[in-house]
A and B are shown apart, each in its own frame.
Chain A
């Protein structure tokens, strides 16, 4: 597919109704796809204190809610994340806990509850191997949990460094480097020099190194792991890069540097940004719009630049809180979640 402006469009495939409050986050199960013989599965979590599991029928291609996970979290479920195997779902809640759910086909059972944060847990992320889990909270801390046999989760580190509410944690896709972003306008990078899991803050991306000037809401990496996009209340998206080959060589930590800033697109807080496997960046914001950006492939004097591929105005009736590309290679599906209580499935299609 040739990604040229004006020849692609974002087509609404289906609107998933069911949540009775704002939907904060969506997560695609990484191993379910038509190619693998199973149907695509999506989890969504909401201010109605529940998590819904949606599945696409391989016959009718329509999406239905398979299960509602309720009566475990007593407050808003802010974030959800599938383990790399797709067998476990972690959910982070304003009730201060993170729940781990095991997927038994059609049934889900809460097998563990991680307690420790002083107040609202805002985000949860699995590392690539599924051996670590990270959580963050309004209590300003980031916790790393080690996954042990027998559904045991041990707190391996409590990372202090942010001066405010931590909004999101995200593990790097190919190394055990952890990233966190905060209401304190910074992105912090946490790394352990040895395998002993002694994580330290090795870099802070803030205003002094071309970082954001207001709350940073989300972080996403490209598949290769050498680029990162962040989005903020300052109405910009920022692209960062590192020398990932050097990082893999084990010579030590290799810092991230600012590549470019995408500004002048969204006119309200950008809550979500997600980098697809085929290098399309999606963003969702408080202006109810979804925007897609691609690398312009033009080497200018100013370095790499990213172009707006398309804007979907009024993608939802209210703020968009999360946009996530499907992991499947078969077609380009995007899921979005909004304050209007809806989850939408979109397909990036070529115009006829």
Chain B
């Protein structure tokens, strides 16, 4: 096994390869409830060529390869379930290009959300990206790879819908490009070449994305959050529909939570509004609060809580403060918006049954075509019993997502099994063939989508 270590050092350098137990320990778990598992090696490449060489080495040695971005999926997707080489991609963090007119950025795979946010604010203040509200070290590519969402998902869809092009190292070591960059043009569009779509949602089992082009959008100088609240959860879908119909909002999130107590049993909406001028801001506010939602206020069913300038990006991680020990994990379901009331009631029931203060959140995606509904469970990292309770609640919620007609987002291994049980046989066969063709050695992130 020492020869693998030495080979990795030969590919990268001695500073960026490790097989020391204390460093392997750090890479053995993510922040959720997944069981820890140590890799055999950790390597941090800097170039696409180095990624290719690592993958080729792994193929030769028949050793697993697990790509890691920010390591913040919480679902255990980058926990090396079968050991092997963990490829930490954070050093590949160059912002290669920002095209102001075409509104896109070409990034290496290790660029973090905070890095792009601050880079744009400093150098291209008129542009912004769809920021997921994850911790700042979450990577753009990691988020895209799991079909993440952000604060522009309401008008523009999943962040994976905003990709203009990709560079991927295949499990066999070849490099492929997709989108306009594949024919040597700039990275300005993902269409209209034949659709391949082999990498998003595959949990890193079909290749390692090393570069991508992501769409940017106008960053208006006035951005802020308006809040609205209702008591009756049955009103949430129609209110979502009314706000999206105005087409005046950016992010729209509905949430309810037990702590702090003011939110208990109520459904809050946060609605991001952006404007170039006070006139535009007032126009948008009038359409949303007065015209679209005025009837709820007059009837006494809904209340306007005001508009606060400045964006405080939502962080579900605040939930981790609810129990001592600072742990939390959530199940995200991509759900039809009309299921919000049942999602809320069932989630609350599961939480209360497991003795966990409930937190649920529904983020509108694509003008109301769906929502990402998150059921969040806090636990104490130092208390195995609370971890067990949270894990049980998470598994029950995975079941619930499918029962309510949704799709589990970034499923862990439990959720992946549930999906595979229900997957259309033709689709499952096709996925199996794709996996076999792309990864004949079965080295990429094994344990995920296993048995497809």
Partners in one complex: no
Which positions in B face A, CB cutoff 8 Å? Answer: none
Interface residues of A (CB under 8 A from B): none
